[in-house]
Structure 1
Amino acid sequence: MKNIQIRPQAASLRSRLMSICFREGLKADPNALDQLCASTRSDMRQMLNILSTWKLSNDTMTYDQGKQL
């Protein structure tokens, strides 16, 4: 039996990440979060790690900053 991993769609990830960012006081551009989803191949653990590290020194994330990550 194969172990198949199904990754959530980008829209649902973006919605969840927006909620987390709001609770943590990080203002993130939705397009930046889309870029983050694409670059991590929808790996939620990796996205949360990146966002928590980013929040240590920043309170906002623009699209360009998200693209650089």
Structure 2
Amino acid sequence: MSSERGNVSRTRPQRHQNAHAFRNDKYDTSARRKKINAKLHDGVCQHCKGILEWRVKFRKYKLLTKPKKW
């Protein structure tokens, strides 16, 4: 879809459909990945909780190396 002003309707369907959902533990079965997947995000606001869960789901989450103030 172009960024041209007023061009907001598509004339064809989506080319590729996702056949399978993304799995963040498909190739990485390490203890670290299991620990990240099992982690509960309590004590944070709903917005931050959603962000953290998204990051875990798509393998963008990294454990902190040092404790951090919230």
Q: TM-score, normalised on structure 1?
A: 0.29
Flag the structure with higher strand content. 1
Q: Which has the larger radius of gyration?
A: 2
Q: TM-score, normalised on structure 2?
A: 0.29
